[in-house]
Structure formats: C-alpha cells, structure tokens
Amino acid sequence: MRRLIHKLLLILLIAMMSQGATARNYVLCVGLDTYPNKVGRYRVKSLHVSANDAKVMKKVFAANGFSTSVLTDSAATLDAVLRTMKYRFYTAKSDDMVVFYFSGHGTEDGLLCYDKVLDNHAIVEVLKKCKAKTKMVIVDACYSGIMRTDSVWHKAFGNEDVILFLSSRNQEESFETGYSNSLFTMYVERGLRGGADTNTDSKITPKELYEFVHKGVSNDGLFKERQHPVMWGRFDGDRPIIIWQNKKDKKSNKTNQEIEDATNN
C-alpha cells in the first residue's frame, strides 16, 4: 500500500513539474517624463505621458501572464535599465519570449535614460546573451526608426526571431496626445488588448499588431500622416505576441519578413 501511494505521489510530482516547464515571457517597461536639463550632450525637456506609457504597457503584458518589471523617471538610469534587462532576460529559456519597451526621448545616438544614452550596441549585447528565441523591442520615441538602420542589428540577428517595433520613421517625431498616453503607445495598447485581433482568435500576431497600429497612428485626426510606425526583423509574422487566456480581458475596439512602409526613407 505504501509503495502504491509512493508511486502515485511520484506521478503527481512529475505531472506538476512538466506543467511548470511551459514557456514563460518576460518584459521590462521603461518610461521617462522627468529628465535633468541635460543628458550627455543633449539638452532635453520633460515629457508628459511617457512614465504612464510604461505603466500601461506593464499592465497589458501582466494581464496575460508576463513576468514584468517597470522603471520610470529618475529610477530609469542607464545602469538600472541594463541591470534589470539582464536580470529579467537572462532568466529566459529558449522557448520563452522577452520584450523591452521604452517610452521617452530618442536621438541619433540612442534612447535617453535619466542620466545617459542607451545605444543599440548595449541593447544588442544583452539580447544576444539571452537564450529566448523570440525577442521584441518596442520603442516610442522621436526618430526611433533610425534604430533599424544600424548595422549592429543586422549583424547580430540576421536570421533570428527579433522584432523591432518603432513609433516613427528616421526623421519623424513621435507625438504625445491630450490623453494619458502617447499616440503610438495608445494604439499599441488598444491593439494588444484585442483591437488588432482581426480574425477574433484571441491571438495578436506581429503582422496584425503592425497593421492596426500603423493605420491608427498614420490616420489619426490630430496628427494625420505626420507619424508612421515601422516594424523590422526576421520573424514569423503569424507567431502570436499575446494569446489571451481570458477573453473577458480583451477590449474590442510572413515568415522571415520585414514589415514596414515601403516608401520609408
């Protein structure tokens, strides 16, 4: 009898361990409204909604089981951002997904943290050491389209599942709105909560998200044709970014391909 009980407990333990071995997803959301007067060689003005952008995106991903971290304003120093990226992303295994989200000032040199510039090389270095097969970078910042022209991305991730979803073209500003979120993040949030689910299968794919956000941002009445999001990478365009486990949480409203506006320069 004891042997039977022991075997049953062993089977139960194995079953519980196998259930816990499913893929996990990790996200770091960074948003800065408040800046010192100067960051590196750049004189900067404070923003209004970027910190809330990061908090809203954290909620969206957390609602679907992502392991999340958020850094805002003075807490979002370069050192803190890189340490948190490493802490979160180095935990990931091959079947997992990692997402880095940033909302704040962008420059030709990179993204402005509270004290220093976060450049492409630093981001790539962390992602390259991360074991997750799928990596996504979402950036809501002026001139963010410049990122995908940096050869460091092409050399590091030529054939891997890496997605850059950037709020504007190379020479375009990314606008704040009169609402609680910036224009790009407002549509990303709507899309991930179900607006981009065009076939109503509770799965949001990169292709669906890009098409929803690009259309919404480009055609927005206040900023019509002044901002055009771009998406770059080598990835399966139909692989879900989010699969909604609870449909009540949704808000209605190419394999190896580069999805972006063909007219962009």
Q: What's the CA angle centered on 173, arms 263 and 102, to 5 degrees?
A: 105
Confidence at 245, pLDDT banded by 50, 70, 90: low
pLDDT digits (tens, 9 = 90+) for 15-45: 333 334 456 899 999 999 999 999 999 999 9
Among the ranges given (47-51, 97-101, 176-180), the one the predictor scored with the smallest mean pLDDT = 176-180
Q: What is the pLDDT of residue 12?
A: 41
Residue 8 has pLDDT above 70, yes or no: no
Q: Which CATH class is domain 23-249?
A: alpha beta
Cβ pair 138, 102 in contact under 8 A: yes
Confidence of residue 264 (pLDDT cuts 50, 70, 90): very low
Distance CA 38, CA 248 (A): 45
Query: Rounded CA gap, 201 and 220, in Å?
Result: 26
Are the beta carbons of 238 and 260 closer than 8 angstroms? no
What single-letter DSSP state applies at residue 106?
B
Of the two residues 183 and 235, the one the predictor is more confident about is 183
What value does the mean pLDDT take over residues 238-263?
55
80: which DSSP letter? H
| Residue 221: band (very low, low, confident or very high) from pLDDT cuts 50, 70, 90 | confident
Degrees (nearest 5) of the Cα angle 186, 105, 30? 65
Whole-structure pTM over 0.75, yes or no? yes
What does the domain layout of the chain look like in residue ranges?
23-249
- CA distances in angstroms from 259 to 78, 163, 164, 205, 236, listed in the order given: 30, 10, 10, 12, 11
Residue 98 pLDDT greater than 70, yes or no: yes
Query: How many residues are listed for the chain in this entry?
Result: 265
